[in-house]
Chain A
Amino acid sequence: MRRKLNAKLGILSLYVAIAISIGFLLIFIFSIFYKGSSVLSWSFLFSAPRAAMTEGGIWPALVGTFWLSFLAVLISVPVGILSAVYLNCYAQKGNWVSLVKICVNTLAGIPSIIFGLFGMALFVNLMGFQVSLLSGALTLAVVSLPIVINASYEAISSVSGDFMEASYALGASKRQSILRIMIPTAMPNILTSVILVTGRVAGETAPIMFTAATFFNRQLPRSVFDEVMALPYHIFALMTEGTHADQQVPIAYGSALVLLLLVLLISGSALILRYQLRKKRQW
């Protein structure tokens, strides 16, 4: 009798835990939709802010976020994959690999505002890139690097040793086996994590605050040395520095909604891509 009761209580606590997690998510999404959907329209997406940001849209911020995320991923993915290949295939197993992995994980745990300060010190000032798309993308690349390294490392270690052995037995060198067998086999898993990282990078605010983002810029960036607007920073600016709260808060929620949809879209496409790739090559 007592055992049965305990089992029931245990199951109940599981349900409650799930209800809490899903409940908060639903409330969160609902409130963003509720407060943001009133301003949403095509012209909101495709026009620049007007009248001291009390009217108009978010097009420059959208474009800025696109370029920031795209360039950041373009930089961090090759570096991340190459690091993972080095750790898996070339580094002496043991202390050295452990040390590097600890460093990578520590990097992953650093608060993003610190990356912002670091980016400002290194890219903006020391390297002289100024507050620009380039500085921001580089800083975001550093933020995403540990995630890309860890994901690629896992993907590459899960490639079966049988494939590598077969490749060697056919006369392939280590380099050929890595390039033609190991990386292509790991690619579906690497790709999904790359897309998830893109979503994460698109939403980061702190790393671009001092390195790339500007409060207001009617122009779209013409080179990597231009300052850009970015969605997360745009929301931040509207909520903290606005002088016409009644007009600007709905715009902030609208921007938040667009950002949320963007990230959901990116994550969703990762899921679909993974599904497609898994279906295509089953083993």
Chain B
Amino acid sequence: MVKIKTSNLNLHFGQNHVLKNVNLEIEEKKITAIIGPSGCGKSTLLRTFNRMNDFKDDMKISGSIMVGDQDIYLDKIDLSHLRAKVGMVFQKPNPFPKSIYKNVSYGLDIQGKFSKSEIQAKVEESLCAAWLWEEVKDRLHSPAMSLSGGQQQRLCIARALANSPEVLLLDEPTSALDPQSTARIEELCVALKQRVSILIVTHNIAQAGRISDYTAFMYLGEVVEYADTSQMFTVPKDKRTEAYLNGVFG
């Protein structure tokens, strides 16, 4: 099943042609990694899926992106709804300076249509799903900033999960973390694909190899190669992919 489909996607920031004719089909409930050297447009591509590029004034986009059966660049689209359905976790753990509980309940609080007990249940469920419940269940009302970096990142994942997303976008989620926390987040991603489709941007080629089912290699705004991870990592079709995977540039 295809969850996200981009057709002839082009994106400019001013004169800068950042994404060039991207055509991708992202599979449902799989992990798809986007790799490539710095500045190749992988984060920008990720941010087109929940329209986080909209804040840049000089952004121009053409082509289409379907999430499920909905074209998300139509004018009538409800951005709040889209961003709840397509959750995002950032490079640097960025929990709000609020309590652990309030961080997770935030997405539901702002929708204003859930009862207190519904929210409470969802907070617990999301923290469990992000493997954080056991560590924080006795101090749900302490500041989120008191958690360790790895815990904070799992809290950010729990926060996104509370909105019951269909897609989870991870923008280099482990690049600010130590190896142990990184391993735990990677295992968590693999577990989470039972319930959401995951797109992960990573600088870490080995990480893409370890956890992803599919990999897209981007270079200078183009998707050079998109294939089964095991296939791409053993027999890359394109010379540039091979060079990148072998560490010739990066």
Contacts and interface: CB of A to CB of B under 8 A. Distances in A.
B159 to A, nearest CB: 7
B82 to A, nearest CB: 8
Interface string B90-103: 10101111100000
Label chain A's interface by main secondary structure. Answer: helix
Given A281-B145, A283-B145, A172 B80 contact: yes
A185 interface: yes
Interface in A229-250: none
A66 B79 CA distance: 48
B99 to A, nearest CB: 10
B80 A166 contact: no
**Interface size class for chain A?**
20 to 34
Nearest to A170: B107
Given A163-B94, A170-B84, A280 B143 contact: yes
B52 interface: yes
Nearest to B102: A180
B96 A171 contact: no
B87 interface: yes
Given A170-B163, A171-B83, A185-B97, 7 more contacts: A162-B90, A166-B156, A166-B159, A169-B88, A169-B160, A282-B146, A283-B97
Contacts of A162: 90, 92, 94
A176 B110 contact: yes
A170 B88 CA distance: 8
A181 interface: yes
Interface in B107-164: 107, 109-111, 143, 145-146, 156, 159-160, 163
12 contacts: A162-B92, A168-B52, A169-B87, A169-B90, A170-B87, A171-B107, A172-B107, A172-B110, A173-B80, A281-B143, A281-B145, A283-B97
Contact of A169 (B50, B97, B109, B145): B50
Contact of B110 (A171, A184, A185): A171
Contacts of A171: 79-84, 107, 110-111, 163
A169 B143 contact: no
B244 interface: no
Contacts of A169: 50, 52, 83, 87-88, 90, 160
A94 to B, nearest CB: 12
A98 B79 CA distance: 32
B50 A170 contact: no
A160 interface: yes
B175 to A, nearest CB: 14
Contacts of A170: 83-84, 87, 106-107, 110, 159-160, 163
Interface string A174-201: 0010001100110000000000000000
B86 to A, nearest CB: 9
Interface string B29-63: 00000000000000000000010100100000000
A168 B80 CA distance: 8
Nearest to A162: B94
A54 B106 CA distance: 62
A280 B90 CA distance: 25
A282 B95 CA distance: 12
B237 to A, nearest CB: 34
Contacts of A184: 97-98
Contacts of A282: 143, 145-146
Contacts of B92: 162
A159 to B, nearest CB: 9
Contacts of A185: 96-97
Contacts of B83: 168-171
B110 A166 contact: no
A160 B94 CA distance: 9
Given A171-B84, A171-B107, A283-B145, A166 B96 contact: yes
Nearest to B160: A170
Interface string A243-283: 00000000000000000000000000000000000001111
A37 interface: no
Nearest to A174: B55
A173 B159 CA distance: 17
Contacts of A163: 94, 96-97
A167 B81 CA distance: 13
B97 A166 contact: no
Given A171-B80, A171-B163, A181-B96, A166 B145 contact: no
9 shortest interchain CB distances as A-B pairs:
A162-B94, A171-B80, A171-B84, A169-B88, A170-B107, A171-B83, A283-B145, A281-B97, A166-B94
**Centre residue among A160, A169, A176, A282 by max chain B CB count within 10 A:** A169
Nearest to B146: A282
Interface in A112-143: none
B43 to A, nearest CB: 12
